[in-house]
Amino acid sequence: MYTALKSSLYQLIEEIEDEKFLKALRDFLQFKKVNSPGKLWNELPKENQKAIFSALEEAENPANLMFRKAFLKSKNTEKE
């Protein structure tokens, strides 16, 4: 299964000469193997999950959005 994909990955790894990069790649792969997808989400309290979904819904409404310049301007006036 996925033989061609694994083969191309092996080839790419074989060509890498940077030990620091190889260690970072190894650490990343080990991390992904240990930490299953959705683990962090499932550890969030339900109220935080609901707040995130609510924020995503609000962001879909263009009336709730603002341009970057307006946001930065509002932040600068708060400091004064």
Identify the residue whose tokens are 């309290």: 45
Are residues 74 and 44 both part of a single domain?
Answer: yes
Domain boundaries, position 49: 39-79
Are residues 30 and 43 both part of a single domain?
Answer: no
Are residues 23 and 49 both part of a single domain?
Answer: no
Is a pLDDT exceeding 70 seen at residue 79? Answer: no
Whether the CB-CB separation of 27 and 19 falls below 8 Å is answered with: no
Q: How many domains does the chain have?
A: 2
Q: Tally Cβ neighbours within 10 Å of residue 25.
A: 14
Are residues 30 and 46 both part of a single domain?
Answer: no
Tokens found for residue 26: 């190894």
24-73: pLDDT as tens digits? 999 999 988 887 778 888 889 999 999 999 999 999 998 988 899 988 98
Are residues 18 and 50 both part of a single domain?
Answer: no
